[in-house]
């Protein structure tokens, strides 16, 4: 079975006109979940990754597993008010609004080689904000990867200059 068969499409969520790609069925199926994690991790196995950085909430689920599979540390990027220590923030545009992400100021060291993971590439705003946070702390981004890419929204264009990898494209 293909991993893409485990992605459910839900129209008009979270608001009218949005086609939401629900990864819950993939997460519920141990074989598909494992296959997705392994395929993404295998793509980066030969790179020298120090840390995997991922945004909440769905990004944490696969991101943590990918970091474990690569044998590297995991750095959470969260919404405002969720991190308990000194933070750095970035505000960005979503396909349906604006949002802010934060990272601990000591989350990585200058020169750390960072792999960024998120479950979905839509307009690219979230990923670009994470790149800004990582580079603002001195990290070197070796790749930006996604489970799903919505190609019609052209999010990849906002990530020029970075290696972008997505497992599933719609």
Instruction: Give the pLDDT of residue 95.
Output: 59
Q: What is the pLDDT of residues 67-109, one digit of tens each?
A: 999 999 999 999 999 999 999 999 987 656 688 999 999 999 9
Q: For 99-125, b where at least 16 C-beta lie within 10 A, e where not — what string?
A: bebbbbeebbeeebbbbbbbbbbbbbb
List the domains of the chain with CATH numbers: 47-169 (3.40.50.2020)
What is each CA distance from 28 to 34, 81, 157, in whole angstroms?
10, 30, 32
Quick check: is 58 catalytic?
A: yes
Active-site residue, from 56, 78, 95, 132: 95
**Confidence class of residue 123 from pLDDT cuts 50, 70 and 90?**
confident
Q: Which of 56, 58, 132, 163 is catalytic?
A: 58
pTM of the model: 0.94
Q: Token pair of 77, please?
A: 């990027």
Structure tokens at 162: 């970075």
156 is catalytic: no
């Amino acid at each position: 079975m293909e991993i893409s068969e485990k992605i459910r499409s839900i129209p008009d969520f979270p608001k009218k006109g949005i086609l939401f790609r629900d990864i819950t069925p993939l997460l519920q199926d141990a074989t598909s979940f494992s296959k997705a994690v392994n395929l993404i991790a295998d793509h980066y196995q030969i790179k020298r990754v120090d840390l995997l950085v991922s945004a909440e909430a769905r990004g944490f689920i696969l991101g943590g597993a990918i970091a474990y599979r690569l044998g590297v540390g995991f750095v959470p990027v969260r919404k405002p008010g969720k991190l308990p220590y000194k933070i750095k923030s970035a505000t960005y545009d979503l396909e349906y609004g604006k949002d802010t992400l934060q990272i601990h100021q000591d989350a990585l060291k200058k020169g750390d080689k960072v792999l960024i993971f998120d479950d979905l590439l839509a307009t690219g705003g979230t990923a670009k904000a994470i790149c800004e946070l990582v580079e603002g702390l001195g990290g070197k981004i070796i790749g930006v990867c996604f489970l799903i890419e919505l190609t019609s929204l052209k999010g990849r264009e906002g990530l020029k200059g970075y290696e972008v990898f997505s497992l599933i494209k719609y």
